[in-house]
Structure 1
Amino acid sequence: MSTTPAPAANTRPSPARQRLLDAATDLFYREGIHSVGVDRIIEESGVTRATMYKQFEGKEGLVLAYLQGEDARLRELFAQAGSVSDDPEVLLDLVIAGIEQDVRERHTRGCPFINAAAEYPAAGPVRELISDHREWFRATLEHLARAAGLTDPADVAASLVLLRDAALVGGYLDGQDRVGPAFARTARGVIASHRT
C-alpha cells in the first residue's frame, strides 16, 4: 500500500516558505487551484518570485505542498484521538466527532482533495498524492474497525469514507449545521450495524 508521508513534526519551514504555503492554502481552498496564479500567491505572501521558485520549483510543487498539509491535518486528527484513548471503539467515535467538527468549522467549501481532483483529472503527481491520501484514510479506518471487532471492516471503512465525502460536499451546499449532525448520526449507525 502506498502512503503519503506526513511532514516531519520537528521540521520548521523557513518563514518565506510558510508564508507562501499559508497564502496558497487559503487561496487554493477558497478560490480553486487553477484560478489562482503564481503572481497572486507571491503578492499575498509578500515574497519574491525567486524565493517562490527556490522553495517550490513552480506552482505544482506548491499545490503538492498544500495537499500534503491537508493530509497532515487529517493524520493529526487521528493522532489526537489516539492521545485520548487506545480503545478502538472510543477512537472511532472520536474520529467521527473530529470529522463532524471539521465539516462545521474548517472545511466549509468542500473537501480539498475532491476539489483538487476535479481540477487535475489526468494522472500525475497531484492525483497520485490524492490517491495515496485516500488509501491511507480508508486503510486507517479499516484497521480501527477491525480492532473494534466490527464485522466486515472494509465495508465499514468504505462507508465512512463515502459519508465523509458526502458531508464535506453537502456541508458546502446545504450548510454545516444541517449536514454535520447527519454525518455523525449516520456514521455511528454504520458502526452500530456492524457490531457483533
Structure 2
Amino acid sequence: MASKTVTKASARERLLEAADELFYREGVQTVGIDRVIEHAGVAKASLYNTFGSKEDLICAYLELRNVRIKDRITRTLTRFRAPHEQLLGVFDALGEAITDPEYNGCAFVRATAETADDSSIRRVANNYRLWVRGLFRELAEASGYAAPDELARQLHLLYDGAGQSARMDHDPSAATTARAAAASLLASAPLADNSIEGRQAARRAAGSP
C-alpha cells in the first residue's frame, strides 16, 4: 500500500501560525521575535528573508486575521436571503467569534493600542475597519434605509462595543445583546421608501410585529 505524502508547512506558514497564536494571546509588543522563531521551529534568517521586520510580520498576522474574519462573516451571511436580514447576521458572525473559548478581544484593537499612530500596523487595522463599516453601509443601502452612512456608523459602534464587552466583562452574550439593540435601531430607522410595505419589511427584519 502506497504511503501518503505529507506536505510540510512552509517557513512563512509556520511563522504566521506562530505569530497568530502568540501575538493574539499575549500582545504584539510583549512577544519578541525570538519566541516566534522558536515556536515556529525555523531559522532566524527565515523570518527576515520572508517578512523583513517584526512590524511586517505583525501586519501579515493582522492580514491573516482580516481574511479569517471576512470569511466567517461572508459564510454566516449566506444563511440570510435579504439584505435587511444580513445586517443582523453580521452580529451572528461576531457571536461565533465571541463564544470561542480562545477569544481574546479584537486583534486590531489590541495591536493598535501598542503601536504609534503612523505605524503600518495601524493602516492594516484601519483597512479592516473600513471593510466592516463598508459592509454595514452596503447592506443598509440595499435594504432601502434613507441614511445608510449614519446607520452604518451606529451599527459599527454596536459591533465594536460587543467585542469590547465580551473581552472586558467576560460576557459571551454580548453579541446577542448588540443584535437586539441593532434590531431596535433598524425598526425605527427612516426608509428611503417610507411606504407601509417598506416599513413592514424593516420591522420583520428587526423581529418586531
Judged with a 3 Å threshold, the aligned counterparts in structure 2 of structure 1 residues 148 and 107 are, in CA distance, closer, same or farther, namely: farther
The separation in 1 between residues aligned to 2:181 and 2:102, in whole angstroms, is 19
Counterpart contact for 1:85–1:91, Cα < 8 Å? yes
Number of residues of Structure 1 aligned to a counterpart in Structure 2:
184
Q: Is the 8 A contact 1:103 1:171 kept in 2?
A: yes
Q: Residue type matched to 2:153 in 1? A: A
- Listed one character per residue, the Cα deviations across residues 83-127 of structure 1 (whole Å, up to 9, x for unaligned) are 444521232232221112212227722111111111113213111
Matched, 1:114 2:144: no
TM-score (norm 2): 0.80
1:26 aligned partner, one-letter code: E
Give the stretch that moved more between structures: 78-87 or 56-65.
78-87
Residue 137 of structure 1 corresponds to which residue in structure 2?
132
Between structure 1 and structure 2, the one with the greater Rg is 2
- Deviates most, 93-102 or 109-118: 93-102
Q: Answer yes or no: is the 8 Å Cα contact 1:109–1:168 preserved in 2.
A: no
2-structure distance, mates of 1:106, 1:140: 27
Deviation, 1:166, is 1.2
**Residue in 2 that maps onto 1:123:** 118
More helix, by proportion: 1
Residue 21 (structure 1) aligned with residue 16 (structure 2): yes
CA contact (8 A) 2:159 2:175 kept: no
Does 2:37 correspond to 1:42?
A: yes
Report the CA distance shift for 1:103/1:19 in structure 2 as closer, same or farther (over 3 A): same
Distance 1:130 1:91, change over 3 A: same
Output the aligned Cα RMSD.
2.0
Matches within 5 A, 1:20-169: 20-105=15-100, 108-169=103-164
For structure 1, the residue ranges without an aligned partner over 5 or more in a row are 1-13
Aligned to 1:6: none
CA distance in 2, matches of 1:106, 1:153: 34
Question: What letter matches 2:92 in structure 1?
Answer: A
Structure with the bigger RCO (C-alpha within 8 Å, sep 6+) is 1
Equivalent AA in structure 1 for residue 54 of structure 2: K
Q: Is the 8 A contact 2:76 2:92 kept in 1?
A: no
Cα deviation for residue 40 of structure 1 reads: 0.2
Shift in Å, 1:182: 1.4
Pairwise CA distance, 1:17 = 1.1
Identity of aligned residues (%): 32
The TM-score normalised by the length of structure 1 is: 0.85
